[in-house]
Structure 1
């Protein structure tokens, strides 16, 4: 069997120009020619091309590839030693790729929710709270939504100073909502609804557009999900329920 240059290019996933170049430099000269003078490659030529591409994939320059293969072809190289060398090179390459994959995976984890801060910066911004505590669950629950994607895009751009401003807003709002509850303000009062509206706008400003209907759903989740309820009730007992009522009242006001 013999093959045209186009066929070989298709088999190997290289260009015809590459095969012409290999021929010109003597790295892979086709074993035959057609009557019209076109290159024809044999099975042995394909074996040599496979070896060439193997070493090229490992980063060997073409002149070194030529020496390696010519030594093997002329009997100066031990075929078994050649295979062992290939195995060693492949093993080393695999180890490098595994390390690279691990580094990329680590970087992906570090960028979850876009919070790529050093441990010192995280503590400076968030204190002892872990901003990524529920990141995996959030991705599992909402990863396919436009809101989650928008949140990821925005957060990926935030600097340490951005996160500090965001957290300062949260702290300020929490203090004022706690004080509002302590003063006995009802959840359906104007003051509580105004703070609920601040809460909605904070989400829209920093993470994703949060219309009133979505804000209602969040309010329900703050009560139904024990972890969210614990988060808000830690500010003041009953705050999660109070906030949900305020969010509902504010959404009703916004719909008028």
Structure 2
């Protein structure tokens, strides 16, 4: 099969237009990422000042992954919960972060113990731990109804960076992220008819 010069030119035009559209979309995406990264840097510069030693004392092995944070910011950009969580996190003092991370570390130890003891993910102990995690988010960041908690737990399995914010890689076990997800889903089912304030849904 042969093509005329005009047909080749038309094909080339379509290819160039498609490429241009893809490049425009990629440029727009990178610009959004740059804006989010710039915001994160500004928060670090104007927020709670921490030396490297203080940062380790407060956060331990829990690492803040900027690439995950920027993607999460874009994914939930229109979410009231995301905006509230960012605003409350920005307002936390160094002491707030110490208390928050201490609470998280105690909870994490209980989660690992339950997992290592072979407790079923749909059992009372695992579901209670899932409920504690949900209330921790509500206490420090944003209200977290069961459906929202399910979506958060789904990310634990879908994206290792999300679960690393909860359990550092050095403390993880094979299957732990899935275990946590199953416990969250079981707990959400247990509280399906109850809202975050403990009142029956209307």
TM-score of the two chains, using structure 1 as the length reference: 0.53
Q: 1:5-26: per-residue Cα shift (whole Å, max 9, x none)?
A: xxxxxxxxxxxxxxxxxxxxxx
Aligned residues: 151
5+ residue gaps, structure 1, are 1-104
Corresponding residue for 2:192?
255
Q: 1:135-188: per-residue Cα shift (whole Å, max 9, x none)?
A: 322222222211111012211221101001110111111111000111110000
Please, which of 152, 173, 176 is the counterpart of residue 236 of structure 1?
Answer: 173
Q: 1:24-58: per-residue Cα shift (whole Å, max 9, x none)?
A: xxxxxxxxxxxxxxxxxxxxxxxxxxxxxxxxxxx
Greater gyration radius? 1
Corresponding residue for 2:160?
226
Q: C-alpha distance in 2, partners of 1:142/1:221? A: 13
The RMSD of aligned alpha carbons is 2.4
Corresponding residue for 1:141?
75
Summarize the Cα distance change of 1:119–1:129 in structure 2 as closer, same or farther, 3 Å threshold.
farther
Corresponding residue for 1:131?
64
Corresponding residue for 1:118?
50
Corresponding residue for 2:151?
217
Q: C-alpha distance in 1, partners of 2:137/2:88? A: 11
RCO higher in 1 or 2 (8 Å CA, sep ≥ 6)? 2
Summarize the Cα distance change of 1:116–1:230 in structure 2 as closer, same or farther, 3 Å threshold.
closer
Q: C-alpha distance in 2, partners of 1:213/1:107? A: 28
Q: Does 1:246 align with 2:152?
A: no
